[in-house]
Structure 1
């Protein structure tokens, strides 16, 4: 039996990670740092990691504000004909953070942006961040957070049907939950959706992560459960 790894297995600034397994190799992607739009690392055992020397997303496309080029929270998946990358960046036209999409033939990249504008950019809600995928019965969905905390508005986690390659929305978004519990502070974000024992479990973060640096207690992980994919349900902290 293999002994559990001791954290950290990747001892560097590697925020908002997403992991995809391709064959025997795990590919991890993270928010931009060290001059790269997206960080990329690989492992065959989830314990020993090698950080790639190249940027899997070398170009962001004209829609991204060149004065604020940072990329947040990449999400990658195998779309059956290649790989899809959803990422958050500042939109040049609106000035808000919005979600874009890029495609590649390989999990190593290079990913190339698709379309002339962002995929999800509800400017009236403050923009959109933190894309995450979910698939059920062959249908692909995109979870995303409206970035209302930028503008003193609510922050909703939405669920929206999307094409299998992730390049186009195929139906309207449904708001699942917003920050309406005292312990959630001003925002919720970073959704992950799984199904266990016949019910849906939506994991998410709450409150401002910067406050965690100040006193070590404010940023939290919570979860919501539902029998219906689009239901809104009570939830609780899981700090």
Structure 2
């Protein structure tokens, strides 16, 4: 057969195969997608996706997203389920738990539903936080089961773990050996407890680890290359705060001290879940957070979704990067900002790059100039604040370029520091001509400067009264 006819025939076969796949409901391989961050998502019918405080379970080629769908007064209405192959195109499947599922759900609060699959019983098991509709005095865990991932779940009731422990914000985790765990905040949110579940995942067998008195909630537990990570928030009601994480090589510990993840408010969100996205290029880990509508003057159903890729500077540490949009490729297992998200900032007079000394991830580590290379401590994410100013966040640490102590004086040190809302971390990009720009600190009106116009590696960066010197002029390029 001539090549042209052969090629046309192959296309017909492939097209027919795609049609069969579509007709039989078997998903074709997902293409890369771009999502807009910190928005309400909509499903394939155009309705708002209500999966707040939720979790995601992958079954076959589909990611199933379960979450809170509330009444206007914030009380329980449904646990709703959606599915997607690409994490952008969400198809509503079912209200898998409703007020009519059990008498005690007719007037209730149900929060943070998480679904796990038990390979031994072939049951899907949902854990959730249960309260009455009027207050948070019950502090119970609740369980429901189903033989299908998006079918009606049978409610098994609510209880306090081991009979005595309060249980509020909740998550679940299945280890490599099939052991199931449930994690919840206890003791009026002062403690965070890890429980080993019974073999069928519907009961609590033992308390295996606790963080007493640390006041952490909104737990997300995941495992990467043999290391366990626990990502949590502080307890500040509906308002966002600094998320912190701990890591360990055994689920029972010892665990590392809590360390900061992301900026001071997790980019205006609270942890809901960490989703591994596995594909041909590896596994990305995606932070799923809620920007609660209650913190914006609305209700839970007004909430926005904040997603952020996690990065691992070492085997036992993590960092969280934020981008206004994300490129997700579930087939490859990659999640990133759009092309050009990372830049290097280069001094005109020396040709050297803005760098964090020694690649330190610590607050107050000095900003210097250094010969440009491939180090993540020379790569910056320019975050447009929408008010004429930007923040520059270091890729290796997630911390922002900052004028130390918010000083307004000449020669004040420039450092990296946990990102916040201070104007000493906000910079105006001012045209300097010739393709160069100045970076002007909002709080002081002074310019980012290489001290004394030095051209050597390691020379410190400072702020100084703006002038015409080329040591205050910069250009950027894609890292």
* RMSD (Å) for aligned C-alpha atoms: 2.8
Aligned counterparts of 2:65 and 2:131: Cα–Cα separation in 1: 23
1:10 aligns with 2:41: yes
Measured after TM superposition, the shift of residue 9 of structure 1 is 7.1
Give the whole-Å Cα distance in 1 for the aligned partners of 2:166 and 2:123.
31
Mapping for residues 70-89 of structure 1, pairs under 5 Å: 70-80=109-119, 81-89=122-130
Deviations for 1:4-28, whole angstroms, at most 9, x for unmatched residues?
A: 4332472545321211112222210
Corresponding position of 2:227: 199
CA shift in 2, pair 1:233/1:65, >3 Å = same
User: Size of the alignment, in residue pairs?
Assistant: 215
Relative to structure 2, which stretch is displaced further, 77-86 or 128-137?
128-137
- Helix, strand or coil: the match of 1:96? coil
Task: Please state how far the C-alpha of 1:105 moved relative to its aligned partner.
Answer: 1.0
Deviation at residue 107 of structure 1 after TM alignment:
0.8
Question: Greater strand share, 1 or 2?
Answer: 2
- Give the TM-score normalised by the residue count of structure 1: 0.77
How does the TM-score come out when normalised to structure 2? 0.41
Matched, 1:44 2:85: yes
After TM superposition, the structure 1 = structure 2 runs for residues 1-239 of structure 1, keeping only pairs within 5 Å, are 2-7=32-37, 8=39, 10-11=41-42, 12=48, 13-34=50-71, 36-52=77-93, 54-58=94-98, 59-62=100-103, 64=104, 66-67=106-107, 69-80=108-119, 81-90=122-131, 95-115=137-157, 117-118=158-159, 120=161, 126-146=166-186, 148-149=188-189, 154=190, 156-175=191-210, 177-178=211-212, 180=214, 187-212=215-240, 219-231=241-253, 232-239=255-262
Determine the C-alpha separation between the residues in 2 that align with 1:3 and 1:102: 33
- Provide structure 1 residue ranges, at least 5 long, that are not aligned to the other structure: 181-186, 213-218
- In the TM superposition, residue 2 of structure 1 has moved relative to its aligned partner by 2.1
Structure 1 residues 109 and 121, CA gap change in structure 2 (3 angstroms):
farther
In 2, distance between residues paired with 1:179 and 1:89? 22
State how far apart, in whole Å, the 2-side matches of 1:197 and 1:99 are.
Answer: 30
Q: How many angstroms apart in 1 are the aligned matches of 2:40 and 2:83?
A: 12
Name the residue aligned to 1:183.
none
* Structure with more of its chain in helix, by fraction: 2
Do 2:166 and 2:185's aligned partners in 1 also have CA atoms closer than 8 Å? Answer: no
CA separation in 2, counterparts of 1:121 and 1:32? Answer: 29
Q: Deviations over 1:27-49 (max 9, x none)?
A: 10112325732122121211111
Question: Which structure has the greater CA radius of gyration?
Answer: 2
The CA distance in 2 between the partners of 1:24 and 1:136, in whole Å, is 20
SS at match of 2:161: coil
